[in-house]
Structure 1
């Protein structure tokens, strides 16, 4: 079980928010830079076509809270790995992640480094 459902901007929000609502758990957005209003943690990461950055509010996850990450697609795994890093930096315990689509040829599952990683559709 988890305490928080975190969604990765932006299409991850579409899936994470209703999951959190259905489970009656808080939803935490993990966003691209410059979109969160208060103190935040950030992480830079590499993509196959460049680089990216993600941010989370410093107080969004309390130490020891169990977090489940949600995103729309798993390609190279860089975004999920960065989001997992933010969860851990904030003191959270990453209990797993779920994606709608996994592009298996890109081996993103290995890059993400998340033990309990679920995908609904694999291409």
Structure 2
């Protein structure tokens, strides 16, 4: 089973969403979060730090684990982390995402083409906290 981390960057009442490039083999042309696969020997937290650095050029300095869910008949576990503080300039690096966008938590559930329906539950929980 693969573990996948997702960094949910929060700023004021907004969350950072990443549009997955249409050329991606997994979940193309959908809105998700920066993150990726946990490598052998890595903790979830180490993978979070590495993935956010590789994909958006930031080093998370404060985060908390939120929910996790299993997808694809138990083939993948997705782990979500709310990231409250980071260092570095937010930059879309590489070709995994075609766009990064700050979206108000109150309307994030209305984004078209969210990668997974469970995102709406996560947005609601973050909005109420």
Specify if TM > 0.5. no
TM-score grouping bracket, smaller chain normalisation = 0.3 to 0.5
Q: Tell me the TM-score normalized by structure 2.
A: 0.33
For CA contacts below 8 A with separation 6 or more, give which structure has more relative contact order: 2
Q: Tell me the TM-score normalized by structure 1.
A: 0.34
